């Protein structure tokens, strides 16, 4: 699938911009993350709050920073994920 999208990108940059990383933008990992976030937002009775979704997406700040230091608020920066497992797993339970 990626090869086909990359061919379209090469031949028709008006449809898929040349500077877009096709494999990153349309990859399965991104689809899974987006699906999980959508499921959590649709959890009944507010079982999953915005803070739970943001806690789960904490990795994103690190990923987006690439070689720079990630910009996080103090709570995220000084949270030891090994000690917050219960809170971290709340996101997963919202998606069941």
Domain count, the chain: 1
Could you give the CA distance from residue 34 to residue 37 in angstroms, rounded to a whole number?
Answer: 5
Q: Residue 79 phi/psi, 5° resolution?
A: -85, 130
Could you give the CA distance from residue 42 to residue 65 in angstroms, rounded to a whole number?
Answer: 29
Could you give the CA distance from residue 57 to residue 79 in angstroms, rounded to a whole number?
Answer: 14
Radius of gyration of the chain measured on its C-alpha atoms: 17
Could you give the CA distance from residue 45 to residue 40 in angstroms, rounded to a whole number?
Answer: 11
Q: What is the pLDDT along the chain (96 residues), one digit of tens a residue?
A: 788 889 999 999 999 999 988 887 777 666 777 778 888 888 876 678 888 888 777 766 666 666 666 666 666 666 666 777 787 788 878 776
Is the whole-model pTM more than 0.75? no
Domain housing 47: 2-94
């Amino acid at each position: 699938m990626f090869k086909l999208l990359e061919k379209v990108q090469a031949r028709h940059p008006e449809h898929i911009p040349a500077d877009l990383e096709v494999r990153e933008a349309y990859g399965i990992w991104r689809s899974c993350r987006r699906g999980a976030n959508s499921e959590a937002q649709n959890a009944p009775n507010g079982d999953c709050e915005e803070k739970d979704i943001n806690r789960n997406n904490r990795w994103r700040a690190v990923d987006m920073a690439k070689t720079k230091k990630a910009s996080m608020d103090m709570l995220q920066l000084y949270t030891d994920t090994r000690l917050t497992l219960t809170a971290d797993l709340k996101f997963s339970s919202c998606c069941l």
